[in-house]
Structure 1
Amino acid sequence: MALTKGDAARTVQTRDWKLRYYEAGSGHPVILLHGSGPGATGWSNFSGNIEALAEHFHVYAVDMPGWGDSDACTVERLDHVEAAVQFMDALGIAKAAFVGNSMGGQTSLRLAVKHPDRISHLVTMGPPLNMGPRLFSAGDGPSEGLKVLVQAYRDASPENMRRLVEIMVYDKARFATPELCQARSEAALARPDHLANYVEGLPKGAPIPNWVRVEDLAGIGVPSLFIHGRDDRVVSFEHSLTLTAHVPDSRLVLLNRCGHWAMIEHAEEFNRLVTDFVRHS
């Protein structure tokens, strides 16, 4: 029987946050961190991965503060590294592999720098690096994908969600279905506090007010796997090329016909890559 959202859902109170998370499996802990899009949750980002990974690992997909069914969060309190450490402490997890998409990848990178004793493996999919507004972009600020993402926060209608999903993936016909766009819209609109906090926090650096410094990447000592879509229109693949050039024990998998959601568009390959990497690195 397939794992359902209801079966996997859990809630934990950390020192500062009430967090929703989705849990399955046993063995070495693997923590999955979602991206920053409206309606993004641990389940929406990783529902196609949790069960497969849980055949080998103890998997936790977390709704971070400010997203999903977790507590609301203003930009002044937005420190997902601290939230991740509090999550681990609350559940008694000493060390885990971190797997992060986009914003979740940036969180995982920063955690590897700040708390190297808490991370065993690092896997990212499309994480942005803070290298200036004109580097690896169109030159007029955020990428086209990020512009669509912000508009979907300002108006989380099904139509704007369709535009968002279409720019997140390579295969629009397969993934930008009316059902998915409607579900993402409903999930986002269910938490107007999350939407408002995101938009109000933009001038102050939301959703990533704290970035890993490029000069600190060489100090990451854990085995690292960077997965990126060649057709990513949100965060260009050159960001992961930069990561691979700086992180000593790293490797890059660049996927053609793949946008910003490698774990969704290429779920079977993604699951194999992560499983082999965490088991054998």
Structure 2
Amino acid sequence: MKYRLKKEKNYNYIEAGEGTPLIVLHGLMGGLSNFDSVIHYFSQKGYKVIIPELPIYTMSLLKTNVKSFAKYLHDFIEFKGYNEVVLLGNSLGGHIGLYYTKQHPSKVKALIITGSSGLYESAMGGGYTKRSDYEVIKKKAQDVFYDPAIATKEIVDEVYETVNDRNKLIKTLAIAKSAIRHNMAKDLPKMKIPTCIIWGKNDNVTPPDVAIEFDALLPDSELFWIDKCGHAAMMERPEEFNGILDGWLEKRGL
């Protein structure tokens, strides 16, 4: 990771640049380094890019859910003293961003979701019966991407370690149940925040139909596709992802 992790109060986070706060929300097994290209690009474009380390595996089991993570985000934004933020979330991070926006619409200038849960996802909580088999986990990690080579040994090792840690596995399953419980379909039509939806055409975790449904349900959204791209567009196609997002933010005057 190129960027230094700051530690203040109960928060660990990366921060770079000056300007409008752009808060990036990582997914269930997504490291902060997955957003290196986003930090590098937007910290030079008039944004203060902030990536908090979400307490996915450090909260009690009872608090291991989308609602508690959104509260953690709220507390972090209050701690930083931000009045309005732009939120960018991938996978579970998108879901947390959506839930936070539902609760605090006045705090969110714009929302960007990519491969977000909140309506449907297929891989978060299942398929770990053979978790001790490294090759099975490797294939599962590779399936997240269009190009399996993106799943480096470091990424596969991290997923393998996570699913073979009993405590983390229990919490992963709890989060999967929470994601289903906190389905956003009824809330989205009331959420009038400008929303940019960037989706990989080859996403196996949250398939393209999910992006189409998000776009249909959100009143002020635009949907952009990235071809030959899986579940983590900002990692797999960083230049296209940043270009799309930059153009959308500029067009929206954000």
TM-score class normalised by the smaller sequence: 0.7 to 0.9
The 3 A distance-change label for structure 1 pair 259 and 178 is same
- SS, match of residue 111 in structure 2: strand
Query: Which residue is 1:167 aligned to?
Result: 143
Residues 118, 32 of structure 1: alpha-carbon distance in 2 compared, 3 angstrom cutoff = same
**Alignment partner of 1:248 out of 196, 199, 219:** 219
TM-score, normalisation: structure 2: 0.85
Give the RMSD, CA atoms, in angstroms: 2.7
Aligned to 2:71, what secondary structure does the other structure show?
Answer: helix
Q: CA deviation at 1:90?
A: 0.8
In structure 2, distance between residues paired with 1:21 and 1:73: 21
Match of 1:139 in 2: none
| Corresponding residue of 1:52 | 41
SS at match of 2:23: strand
Residue pair 1:75, 1:209 contacting (<8 A) in 2 also? no
**Structure 1 position 176 matched with structure 2 position 157:** no
Aligned to 2:70: 81
Quote the offset at 1:12 in angstroms: 3.1
Which of 76, 82, 89 is 1:93 aligned to?
A: 82
Gaps of 5+ in 2: none
Distance in 2, Cα, partners of 1:44 & 1:158: 23
Find out whether 1:10 has 2:6 as its counterpart. yes
CA separation of 1:101/1:86 partners in 2, compared to 1, >3 Å: closer, same or farther? same
- Report the CA distance between 1:184 and its aligned residue: 5.0
Q: Would you say 1:266 and 2:237 are equivalent positions?
A: yes
Q: Name the CA distance, whole Å, in 2 between partners of 1:196 and 1:101.
A: 22
Q: Select which of 64, 69, 72 maps to 2:59.
A: 72
Q: TM-score, normalised by structure 1?
A: 0.78
Total equivalences in the alignment: 249
| Alpha-carbon distance between aligned partners in 2 of 1:257 and 1:276, rounded to the nearest angstrom | 21
Q: CA separation in 2, counterparts of 1:248 and 1:118?
A: 18
In structure 1, give the amino acid aligned to 2:143: I
Greater shift in the superposed pair: 157-166 or 261-270:
157-166
